[in-house]
Amino acid sequence: MSLNWQDKTASELGRMIGMGEIDPVDLTQAVLDAIEAHDMTDRIYARLTRERALAEAKAASDRAKSGARLSALDGVPISWKDLFDTADVATEAGTALLKDRIPDEDAEVLKNATAAGLICVGKTHMSELAFSGLGLNPITASSPCVNDHDAVSGGSSSGAAASVAFGLAPAAIGSDTGGSVRIPAAWNDLVGLKTTSGRLSLEGVVPLCAWFDTVGPLARSVEDCAQLLALMEGGKAADLRGADLKGKRFLVLETVAMDDVRDAPGAAFQSAVERLQAAGAQVDRGDIPEVAEIMELTSILYTSEAWGTWKDVIEANPDVMFPEILGRFQLGQSWSAGEYIAAWQKMEKLRAGYLTAVAQYDAVIMPTSPILPPNAERLMSDHDYYITENLLALRNTRIGNLMGLTALTLPTGVPSCGITLMTPPDTEERLLRLGAAAEAALA
């Protein structure tokens, strides 16, 4: 059927279902039809869950008709990154190492979302084992950027972002270990939420670095992110009513985050800052020495845990991996247990120092990515370019993971250029209120 849903947020669709304006079965069928008709579907979706989606939609339709809806998004279809276990459906995390891996049950966050009435339409492509900020994956598929189909869409939640940006899902669920929700969200003009480590369950989520892995939504609005966070944990969504920026204090992080920012992201960020100020926010600029120090710990902390997690599986069949990803995992061999533990201890001290330094501010802000989406063909043919662009893509977002923060990226109005707001751990509701106010100022 023909149904005008692709310009609506997930929350808007939920309200339309509640008012009887859209039937969940019709909506789900329209989403599935759009997916199957799109010429880049194979680069975005790893597989569909058609039968499951239509069965869930029928149940949601019956609830809506009887006035027994389970949540504000009951009956809304969304996509899931292919590292969330789905019962009896392959979950391969973008790698041939896990080909034909079929879990017995859903990941915990998917169970919670399903219990709230969300509909699973399919699994989206991703960087191999989630170990890249680019989204380039010659093993399965490299999802396109909505603003440049020859460029990558950002990783590792590459297909998740593309599914929403190309109008093939109202919202998506991804994961973020070093920027994997925020980079693709920014490059595809979406809102992306990095949650605090431990806030959402990782049970049934294929790990990269479990100490840094987080689950988060990619959507068209802050409201959607607030709703999806609540439904994945079985809680109540943040109240965004009346949010504004008057009297709020933001700090532009000038340590590391503003280095080598390219022209378009830099100009977009400056324009966004001016609009936040016009809406009543006070914006200061400053250095935080702990940021530079913690960035030096990146390699040991990430590669050691990633290699420790996947060593046996990789060594049994290394030739099936994308060499760039394989090489990144193998870097973890070079660190000792003593060095790894010392790095964790240092990181904890630096986190405490950072939180003290920013205590007077409502949020720290910076460009989500210092670069635009790189060309996929060049990334495949130029090793040095791949390394440079991957490190730059992840640089700013990784600050939030290393510091243990929660972070939100918002579109600036300039294609593929986002602005990030970061707040202390476990302050998602506060961040979402700030994000809603900033979203209105940037619109």
Radius of gyration of the chain (CA): 20
Tell me how far apart the alpha carbons of residues 428 and 368 are, in angstroms, rounded to a whole number: 18
DSSP state of 236: -
Q: Judge contact between 232 and 200, C-beta under 8 A.
A: yes
User: Quick check: is 153 catalytic?
Assistant: no
Nearest to 146 by CA among 325, 367, 371, 372: 372
User: Quick check: is 369 catalytic?
Assistant: no
Residues 6+ apart with CB under 8 A from 55: none
The neighbouring-strand residues paired with 123 are: 47, 80
The neighbouring-strand residues paired with 218 are: 172, 192
Please state the separation of Cα 248 from the chain's center in Å. Answer: 26
Q: How many helices (H) and strands (E) does the chain have?
A: 16, 13
Tell me how far apart the alpha carbons of residues 368 and 4 are, in angstroms, rounded to a whole number: 31
User: Quick check: is 81 catalytic?
Assistant: yes
Helices (DSSP H) in 188-285: which residue ranges? 222-233, 263-278
CA dihedral 199, 167, 33, 128 (to 10 degrees): -50
Helix H or strand E encompassing 420: strand 418-423
Nearest to 178 by CA among 226, 230, 129, 106: 129
Catalytic residue among 132, 153, 156, 175: 156
Residue 441 phi, psi (nearest 5) = -70, -30
Nearest to 225 by CA among 173, 155, 177, 178: 173
Tell me how far apart the alpha carbons of residues 189 and 146 are, in angstroms, rounded to a whole number: 8
Q: Judge contact between 282 and 249, C-beta under 8 A.
A: yes
Q: Judge contact between 155 and 127, C-beta under 8 A.
A: yes
Catalytic residue among 8, 11, 81, 132: 81
Tell me how far apart the alpha carbons of residues 138 and 128 are, in angstroms, rounded to a whole number: 9
Tell me how far apart the alpha carbons of residues 442 and 411 are, in angstroms, rounded to a whole number: 8
Cα 249–362–356 angle (5° rounding)?
Answer: 110
70 φ/ψ sector (left φ>0, alpha ψ -120 to 50, else beta):
alpha
Catalytic residue among 180, 197, 304, 416: 180
Q: Judge contact between 192 and 421, C-beta under 8 A.
A: no
Secondary structure E strands in 346-390: 363-367
Q: Could you list the active site residues? A: 81, 156, 180
